[in-house]
Structure 1
Amino acid sequence: MLITVSGPPGSGKSTTASKLAEALDLDHVSGGDIFRELADERGYTPLEFNKLAEENEQIDRDLDRRLRSVAVDRDDVVLESRLAGWLAGDVADFRVWLDAPLDVRAKRVADREGKPVSEAREESAARQSSEADRYEEYYGIDITDLTIYDLSINTARWNADAVLDMLVTAVDEYDAEVDEGKYPVEADYDF
């Protein structure tokens, strides 16, 4: 099974993906970890490397190729990155988008990185805008188009354990539908 977890900085991707992988006994592959490794290997901070990526599209393309390779070549993985849902494409079994308001995400990033919230807010907004522009330019992807995701969750409304419970329930339901040959489910709404 391949599950993707995507969302902007501070949305809870890493925490959720790690816990989900553990709960479902899957491997966890983090695009952020790979990006930070690439930055460190080349002597840059992640922010510096992200700015460099604005000028050198090969950085994004190399990272995205690695992530796509994981999606295609490996089984039993929770793949986490901003573009994971898009990169996994038709090989993903279940795609999740996590989000929260910018102020909530900035506070999380500030707490995690030990910086002022105002700085984290500014950096997060700039990074999100920069990445959205690059995704559109390189791949024609509108990162705000959430129609490819099976589930989208505002992580500001629930704690990490509640988000995990929702996802485990959703994935279990998906598995049951697949096992019974009912997937994709055609919803029958009566309004």
Structure 2
Amino acid sequence: MLITVSGPAGSGKSTFAAALANALEVDHVSGGDIFREMADERDMSLVAFNELAEEDDQVDRDLDRRLREIADENDDLILESRLAGWMAGDHADLRIWLDAPMDVRAERIADREDKSVTTAREETTARAESEAKRYAEYYDIEIDDRSIYDLVLNTSRWSPAAELEIVLAAVESYDPDDDEGRAPVTGVDYDF
């Protein structure tokens, strides 16, 4: 079963995807890990590679192409990135979006990156605006469109264990032959 986990920075997607992969005994591929591999391939620091990505759209396109290829080549996998649900397209069996209010996400990021909550909020807001603009420009994706997702969870409302329980119940009840009411991933321009 190919499951995608997407969401904004600080939503808990990496932690959740790793726990879900462990529970289902499948591999977990993280867009963040691929991004770090790409930086290593160019012998660049993450900071320098992030700066390059802001100037060179090919960085995002290469990352997204790799995610798309991974989705096309794997049937039993947790694929996690901001655009995983979109990049996997209709090949994904279950598409999950995780989210939390900005204040919660900013606190999580501040704790993780040892910075002030105010700084984390400002940086996260700027990053989200930049990403939304790029996704619309590159692929005609409106990142705020949740219609392609099968399950949307507010991670500030449940513990990580409860989130896992909710999703495992969804996985258990999944019927691959019942696509009625599922929004297809259409209109996306995968111009890598």
> Is the structural similarity TM-score above 0.5?
yes
Give the residue type in structure 1 aligned to 2:179: P
Give the gaps of 5 or more residues in structure 1.
none
TM-score normalised by structure 2 residue count: 0.89
RMSD: 1.6
Equivalent in the alignment of 1:45: 46
Q: Deviations over 1:29-50 (max 9, x none)?
A: 000111133235442334x533
Q: CA deviation at 1:54?
A: 2.5
* 1:112-191 correspondence to structure 2 within 5 Å: 112-174=112-174, 177-178=175-176, 181=177, 183-185=178-180
Aligned residue-pair number? 181
Equivalent in the alignment of 1:7:
7
Q: Which whole-Å CA distance do the structure 1 matches of 2:148 and 2:101 have between them?
A: 21
Question: CA, structure 1 residues 126+50, in 2 after alignment: closer, same or farther (shift >3 Å)?
Answer: farther
Closer, same or farther: CA 107–75 of 1 in aligned 2, 3 Å:
same
1:50–1:127 contact (8 Å) kept in structure 2: no
Q: Distance in 2 between matches of 1:186 and 1:71?
A: 22
- Alignment partner of 1:98: what SS? strand
Question: Deviation digits for residues 54-97 of structure 1, max 9, x if unmatched?
Answer: 22100000000111011001221000000000000010000000
After TM superposition, the score normalised by the length of structure 1 is: 0.89
Q: How does 1:16-35 map to 2 (within 5 A)?
A: 16-35=16-35
- SS in structure 2 at match of 1:3: strand
C-alpha distance in 1, partners of 2:58/2:19? Answer: 31
* SS of equivalent to 1:169: helix
Deviations 1:76-130 (A, max 9, x none): 1000000000000010000000000111001111111122211111111111111
State the SS of the aligned residue for 2:75.
coil
Structure 2 distance, partners of 1:91, 1:165, is 24
Q: How far 1:133 sits from its partner (Å)?
A: 0.6
SS at structure 1 position matched to 2:79 = strand
Give me the whole-angstrom Cα distance separating, in 2, the residues matched to 1:53 and 1:153.
29
Structure 2: 5+ residue stretches without partners: 183-192
Tell me the equivalent position of 1:73: 73
Aligned residue identity for 1:58:
Q
- Provide the rounded CA distance (Å) in 2 between the counterparts of 1:55 and 1:121: 23
AA of the residue aligned to 1:118:
T
